[in-house]
Chains A and B, each alone.
Chain A
Amino acid sequence: MATAVQTDNMLNLKWPKEGPSRVPYWVYSSPEIYKREQELVFGGASYNYIGLECEIPNPGDFRQTKVGDKPVIFMRDEDGQVHVVVNRCAHRGVQFCYDMHGKDKKEFICPYHQWTYNLKGETTAVPFRRGLQKQGGMPGDFDLKANGLQKLKVATRHGVIFASFDHSMPSFEDYIGPKMVGWFDRVFSGRPLKVLGYQRQRIRCNWKLVFENIKDPYHASLLHVFLVSFSLFRADNPSKVQMDEKLGLHSVLVSQRGEKKADDTTSDMRQNQASFTLANPAMLQPEKEFPGEATVVMQTIWPNLMVQQQSNTLAMRQIHLVGPEEFELHWTYFGFADESEEMTHKRLRQANLMGPAGYVSADDSEVMEAIQAGISKYAATDAVVEMGGRGVEDTEHMVTETAIRAFYDGYRKVMGL
């Protein structure tokens, strides 16, 4: 007989019979699920966001990042090609690269036994390979080529780098599907990018809570008083939610700015601040810069990227994993290389909305930790996800959790749950 409080060991990780309208809390805390995700999600048939090509513009440039919880290096070789390798020496496993970024690199040398790698991740030198004074050395059949760094398959589109541990992956475009390519190209049209800076925060909750947060327009119109007060995001603004054609793991929330007003929509809010005005209005003077009517497009690209376009704030939000109940969010804010100083300044001012101290995002990091605190000890309980019905279809409104249901529908297939 079931008890009121069960651990995941007793549950056999069986999805609730209601299907996608329920999310069992064990997906957010189980060490077994976390291990399976490293293998099947981040280590499996997925393209992980790595970085922007403009972060490593020249041969010899490199940066470190993570795929799931695994440190990788992305770098540009002498021919201009981008490579992504695991930061783990092929010999004894040393995390050989200490610098988080650098330039003019010719080769990487592991400090332990000085195994040396070129910018393609190939081993170029193994000290004492032929022995010393006719003693020792590697066996005669030791193959340098077969003992290089572990490489990931790389895909780039319009200046954005993705990589996969699975070398049999189709193209990136096939992976996200035509609908998602369309939204991706809206921001990444091929116009050269420039990085404005980084923000990084560690949040004590499961990583999926942030991924589905961006798939949840229902919360955005209620939790984020700042957004609603300035009508940057309201339940009654023209909006839509769309998923990719295959697994529904990638999605977009699309909306457009409305008039600042108090009415039925805001009356359901706990703390409407329609009367709130800025003492320095320069902080928030959005300028139209993309085709179409949308002023907000938040796109999630499974499994580790959220592309943020809210007014003129553009950022890649990348998920790094720490453990089942902790992750890091790495924000790379960007603009376009040829934009005016004024536009860059707008982006820097509007960045006050986002990040660890953002008027909007701080709500999320606080609430996500509170969710984890609420569910961590109740693995056998389920979340109720029925706003907008129980289906997983695209919608033309925001009063829905359809993208969360679609996400868990796809997640179950990937994870075999």
Chain B
Amino acid sequence: MTTTTKTRAEDLAALRYEIEEFNTAYADCLDDGDLNDWKGFFTEDCLYKVIPRENLEQNLPLAVIYAEGHGGLTDRIVGVTKTTVFRKRYLRHFITNTRIRSVEGGEIRAEANYQVLETLPEEYTKILNAGRYIDRFMRVGGALKLKERLCVYDSEMVPATIVYPL
């Protein structure tokens, strides 16, 4: 996006820094924190999807994870931790190249690249998933919250299982 004044550039730099801080805290929550806090990064009526790039490009609506609102995010965490059988694993998020696409009417559209590494017992660390977040942020009580996060992954192929959110 284009900027014309120094002030505007400073505002954007500050906003980009704020989003980077947000994503750092988001990654910390999923990698080393309490999964129950994950929904706190979203607005009550949010939409969260993990979607293969090929579906997005072909205008096909199917996601791999599709969660609506805090209820949907809670169900994902409870569903995974209480009903799903899986091997213990560690995730490590790397979120970079933050770019602000637009700031309009209280909504900030931004994107960032993400890479999530996964480590299973007795195995080398592997790339579980890589792609970009396509985000719509709002401010709630001054703090940034995600109204929508699409995790669009590049590889058509997923290694076996995606257990935790990306």
**Could you tell me which A residues sit within 8 Å of B by CB distance?**
100, 195-204, 223, 225-226, 229, 271, 273, 276, 278-280, 282-283, 328, 333, 344, 348-349, 351-352, 355-357, 359, 362-363, 365-367, 369-370
B86 lies within 8 A of A366 (CB): yes
Main secondary structure of the interface of A (DSSP, over half): mixed
CB neighbours (8 Å) of B163 from chain A are 357, 362
CA separation between A345 and B76, bound complex, in Å?
A: 18
A200 lies within 8 A of B84 (CB): no
A280-B72, A344-B61, A367-B85 known; A328-B66 Cβ under 8 A = no
**Could you tell me which B residues sit within 8 Å of A by CB distance?**
50-52, 54-55, 58, 60-72, 74-76, 78-80, 82-87, 156-163
A198 lies within 8 A of B84 (CB): no
A198-B55, A357-B50 known; A223-B60 Cβ under 8 A = no
Supplied contacts A197-B63, A328-B157, A366-B87, 7 more A-B pairs, CB within 8 Å: A201-B158, A226-B83, A271-B83, A278-B75, A348-B66, A362-B86, A362-B162
CB neighbours (8 Å) of B62 from chain A are 196-199, 333, 348, 351
CA separation between A273 and B85, bound complex, in Å?
A: 13
CA separation between A352 and B82, bound complex, in Å?
A: 15
Query: Shortest beta-carbon distance, B44 to chain A, in Å?
Result: 11
The number of A-B residue pairs with CB atoms under 8 Å apart is 127
B69 lies within 8 A of A280 (CB): yes
A279-B74, A357-B161 known; A225-B83 Cβ under 8 A = yes
Question: What are some 30 contacts across the A-B interface (CB < 8 A)?
Answer: A100-B54, A196-B62, A197-B51, A197-B52, A197-B61, A198-B55, A199-B52, A200-B52, A200-B157, A201-B157, A201-B159, A202-B157, A202-B160, A203-B160, A204-B160, A226-B83, A271-B83, A273-B83, A276-B82, A276-B83, A279-B71, A279-B74, A279-B78, A280-B74, A344-B61, A348-B62, A348-B63, A352-B66, A357-B163, A363-B85
CA separation between A229 and B80, bound complex, in Å?
A: 13
Query: Shortest beta-carbon distance, A113 to chain B, in Å?
Result: 30
CB neighbours (8 Å) of A100 from chain B are 54, 156
Given B54, B58, B63, B84, which contacts A362 in the complex, CB threshold below 8 Å? B84
Query: Shortest beta-carbon distance, A197 to chain B, in Å?
Result: 2
CB neighbours (8 Å) of B82 from chain A are 225, 271, 273, 276
CB neighbours (8 Å) of B75 from chain A are 278-280, 283
A351 lies within 8 A of B63 (CB): yes
Query: Shortest beta-carbon distance, B32 to chain A, in Å?
Result: 21
B162 lies within 8 A of A356 (CB): yes
Given B64, B83, B84, B87, which contacts A370 in the complex, CB threshold below 8 Å? B87
Query: Shortest beta-carbon distance, A350 to chain B, in Å?
Result: 9
CB neighbours (8 Å) of A348 from chain B are 61-63, 66
CB neighbours (8 Å) of A328 from chain B are 157
